[in-house]
A and B are shown apart, each in its own frame.
Chain A
Amino acid sequence: MFKDKPIKILLAKPGIDGHDRGILVLAKAFRDAGMEVIYVGLLPTPEEVVDTAINEDVDVVALSLLNGAHMTVFKKVADLMKEKGVKDIAVVGGGTIPDADKPKLEKLGISGNYGPGTPIAEIIKHITERAAEIRKLKATGE
């Protein structure tokens, strides 16, 4: 089960950040790549993001921030997931993330961390890979 079905992905900007140009483009691009995309609008709290991810049972949560708060806010999401014992949802990130921050985010389990100008195909490839890992994990649960 779960193998060839569409990837289900939650797109969220969990901080105080109204720059939604990028995330709206990605939402459309992911849909056109055959994913089921959930976009919760602006200003969700990290708690809301994690709850939504669980209730919708998504494969991937994609976080975006362009306000420089990623180290604090992305971490909150990762911590909450850990706290709730969620291991079978992948978290990827993006936005204005300086190179120096990337390894720290990776350590929190947040991969990708793409900046503006990244080809969408590259982002989709990464998400597809992460989703495949997650699907495998979900499938072995049965």
Chain B
Amino acid sequence: MVKDSQSYWSSKLMALREQNSGNNPDYETWKGRTLDPWNRNASSAGMESVNSSGIISKEVYTSGDIPQNTEKELLGMPGEFPFTRGVYPDMYRGRRWTMRMFSGFGTPEDTNRRLKYLIKHGESGLSIAFDMPTLYGFDCDNTRADGEIGKCGVNVSSLKDMEVIFKGIDLSQVSTSMTINAPAAILTAMYIAVGKKKNIPIADLAGTVQADILKEYIAQKEWIYPPEAHLRLIRDMMVYCTENMPKWNYISISGYHIREAGSSAVQELAFTLADGFHYVEMGQEAGLDVDDFSPRLSFFFNSSINFFEEIAKMRAARRIWATVLKEKYGARKTRSLLLRFHTQTSGYTLTWQQPLNNIIRTTIEGLAAVLGGTQSLHTNSYDEAWALPSEDAVKIALRTQQIIAEETGIPDVVDPLGGSYYLEWLTNRMEEEAYRYFEEIEKVGGILEAVKVGYLQKEIAATSYRRQIRLEEGKEIMVGVNKHVEEGEQPISILRISKKAQKQQLDRLKEVKGDRDEKKVLEALKDLEGAMMKENENTMPYILRAVEAYATLEEISNIGRKVFGPWKEPVIV
């Protein structure tokens, strides 16, 4: 175990810098002999080749660009430290990645129907998206929620809604991923309560909640309380689930949103892992053994359009995680060192213009995720730049990954790109740049301080603005947007959420409030308040009790609002 983080990061960074610097004599000779004369005769200036992370690539790579210990030490064999080639020995030969299509819209009934549709078409894991009011802990009857019900996902105001979402679905046979952060503990409690009603033992419930609150402050900005308060609630959930729910992954540490907020690939990599390290420290501080809880941490990455950069990012992520968990946090068991991750293809790279092109983009990005060794995958639908996906569009997206899995032969071999001079060089460079950020974040005062002063947010905003300028200047291309533009495009038909969804949710909430035992609700909420006030009391059982009494999402969130107060964002621009 390492105590002095600053010097740990500095020494790692120095070693990597050393490893990755130095000239490749083979390249230099070739350049003088063949490339330079060729360029002198060429009429065009050649392309500028810089990726989102600012890493500039050469024309070609050879064995001289990668260290001698690449095969034995930097890569290792699949399923062996440092897991660069994959977390499992047989990867997709044993089991394909889980095809997990993020879904959820409108009313719980709509979502229930969509989930059953996906199960019927061969989806192997459920993934629920919630609407904005739910994500911010507001009930559907809050005036602020007007017009937002069911728009970006399904609306959940009380346990009753969750009961409807999972109606007729056997929770012992599926694993459910819920994209929920600030109110993660409440939704987890609701899931447990639904399971209880179906007589499924809590230990048999399988799935994931995102609960990665740090990236909310960094990127997605769906928070309710100040960071310390949310972290404490997540800690409570971590402890509770470690003890009671062996199949529940309680944090999905997410780079996806960091990337969508405009970061580069390396920022996504570095900020996500830095968040992950913080959760490890938090678990250790709560008295948990790192080997008991780190196997439950999983990750969630973006797969964007720069093919090799994405693959390198995912490989570097595995290596960094395994190395740091072992060296810095003293993990001993193999399972603790595995960075397992879900991937979603990039939403940002999708265009409104010529939307069918998005199918191609998603195919390339999905392929990168598979070559990067993802454990599960969501492929975006071509209409998602416009709205939530329609049923037909979702089906094509699902079919896209089915084709990669069943027809291409790509899953037959583990890490088929391993040993590619370019990819290995790029993986090493991404790794180095990530450590540069770890050191920088430490200098700012650690990840929590960096979040509170807006350091990471500013870094992302700067990257995103730079990219926008490059687009405007035509230095970066989006087909159909700033090149190969077509005039007079016809809009495609998109999914619209009907106004009825709001009405239906309001009616149900009213019914819930009318039917419940008010005294039980008030008592549960009062006890929850007491638990929240005591730093060392685990809030999870109290939240579960409140949920089961049909206290609403907002009522429960309001207790926290009262105890912890609101969050004021730092000034970013």
Q: Tell whether any CB of A sits under 8 Å from a CB of B in the complex.
A: yes
Cβ-defined contact, B133 with A25, below 8 A: no
Task: Write out, one digit per residue, whether chain A residues 32-46 have a CB within 8 A of any chain B CB (1) or not (0).
Answer: 000000010111010
Question: Given A24-B573, A117-B351, A121-B472, is A73 in contact with B147 using a C-beta cutoff of 8 Å?
Answer: yes
Cβ-defined contact, B497 with A68, below 8 A: yes
Question: Given A21-B261, A25-B262, is A116 in contact with B221 using a C-beta cutoff of 8 Å?
Answer: no
Kindly identify, within residues 120 to 136 of chain A, every residue whose CB is under 8 Å from any CB belonging to chain B: 120-121
Cβ-defined contact, A24 with B148, below 8 A: no
Taking CB atoms, residues of chain A closer than 8 Å to B468 are: 25, 29, 120
B387 beta carbon closer than 8 Å to chain A: yes
Taking CB atoms, residues of chain B closer than 8 Å to A73 are: 146-148
Taking CB atoms, residues of chain B closer than 8 Å to A99 are: 491
Q: How many residues of B contact A (CB 8 A)?
A: 43
Select A16's contact among B138, B478, B482, B491, beta carbons within 8 Å. B138
Question: Given A96-B386, A116-B352, is A27 in contact with B148 using a C-beta cutoff of 8 Å?
Answer: no
Taking CB atoms, residues of chain A closer than 8 Å to B151 are: 67-69
Tier of interface size on chain A = 20 to 34
Kindly identify, within residues 14 to 56 of chain A, every residue whose CB is under 8 Å from any CB belonging to chain B: 15-21, 24-25, 27-29, 39, 41-43, 45
Question: Given A67-B152, A117-B481, is A16 in contact with B136 using a C-beta cutoff of 8 Å?
Answer: yes
Chain B nearest CB, measured from A103 CB (Å):
13
Cβ-defined contact, B145 with A16, below 8 A: yes
Cβ-defined contact, A16 with B148, below 8 A: yes
CA distance A25 to B465 in the complex (A): 5
CA distance A60 to B503 in the complex (A): 34
B222 beta carbon closer than 8 Å to chain A: yes
Kindly identify, within residues 341 to 363 of chain B, every residue whose CB is under 8 Å from any CB belonging to chain A: 348, 351-353
CA distance A57 to B306 in the complex (A): 44
Question: Most chain-B Cβ atoms within 10 A of its Cβ — which of A15, A28, A69?
Answer: A69
- Say what secondary structure dominates the interface of chain A: loop
CA distance A21 to B461 in the complex (A): 7
Question: Most chain-A Cβ atoms within 10 A of its Cβ — which of B146, B216, B221?
Answer: B221
CA distance A21 to B258 in the complex (A): 10
Select B221's contact among A20, A28, A98, beta carbons within 8 Å. A20
Taking CB atoms, residues of chain A closer than 8 Å to B482 are: 119
Task: Write out, one digit per residue, whether chain B residues 7-45 have a CB within 8 A of any chain A CB (1) or not (0).
Answer: 000000000000000000000000000000000000000
CA distance A76 to B510 in the complex (A): 25
CA distance A24 to B178 in the complex (A): 28
Cβ-defined contact, B464 with A68, below 8 A: no
Cβ-defined contact, B148 with A68, below 8 A: yes
Cβ-defined contact, A21 with B260, below 8 A: yes
CA distance A121 to B469 in the complex (A): 11
Taking CB atoms, residues of chain B closer than 8 Å to A120 are: 468, 472
Task: Write out, one digit per residue, whether chain A residues 92-108 have a CB within 8 A of any chain B CB (1) or not (0).
Answer: 00001011100000000
Question: Given A15-B147, A25-B468, is A96 in contact with B138 using a C-beta cutoff of 8 Å?
Answer: no
A112 beta carbon closer than 8 Å to chain B: no
Residue of B nearest to A71 (CB): B147
Cβ-defined contact, B146 with A72, below 8 A: yes
Kindly identify, within residues 427 to 481 of chain B, every residue whose CB is under 8 Å from any CB belonging to chain A: 461, 464-465, 468, 472, 478, 481
Taking CB atoms, residues of chain A closer than 8 Å to B559 are: none
Task: Write out, one digit per residue, whether chain B residues 472-508 have a CB within 8 A of any chain A CB (1) or not (0).
Answer: 1000001001100000000100101100000000000
Select A116's contact among B138, B222, B385, beta carbons within 8 Å. B385
Select B220's contact among A18, A24, A25, A68, beta carbons within 8 Å. A18
CA distance A15 to B201 in the complex (A): 40
CA distance A18 to B573 in the complex (A): 15
B144 beta carbon closer than 8 Å to chain A: yes
Select B572's contact among A24, A43, A115, beta carbons within 8 Å. A24
B132 beta carbon closer than 8 Å to chain A: yes
CA distance A119 to B471 in the complex (A): 9
Cβ-defined contact, B472 with A24, below 8 A: no
Taking CB atoms, residues of chain A closer than 8 Å to B152 are: 67-68
Chain B nearest CB, measured from A22 CB (Å):
9
Taking CB atoms, residues of chain B closer than 8 Å to A41 are: 569, 571
CA distance A94 to B322 in the complex (A): 43
CA distance A89 to B386 in the complex (A): 29
Chain B nearest CB, measured from A43 CB (Å):
8
Taking CB atoms, residues of chain B closer than 8 Å to A100 are: 491
Cβ-defined contact, A21 with B464, below 8 A: yes
Cβ-defined contact, B148 with A96, below 8 A: no
Chain B nearest CB, measured from A140 CB (Å):
34
CA distance A67 to B262 in the complex (A): 18
Select A15's contact among B132, B348, B571, beta carbons within 8 Å. B132
Can you show 28 pairs from A to B with CB atoms below 8 A apart?
A15-B132, A16-B133, A16-B148, A17-B132, A18-B220, A20-B221, A21-B260, A24-B465, A25-B262, A25-B461, A28-B573, A39-B573, A67-B148, A68-B148, A68-B151, A71-B147, A73-B148, A96-B385, A96-B387, A98-B491, A98-B496, A100-B491, A115-B352, A117-B353, A117-B478, A117-B481, A120-B468, A120-B472
10 nearest A-B residue pairs (beta carbon): A72-B147, A18-B221, A68-B151, A69-B147, A16-B132, A69-B148, A117-B481, A21-B262, A27-B573, A24-B461
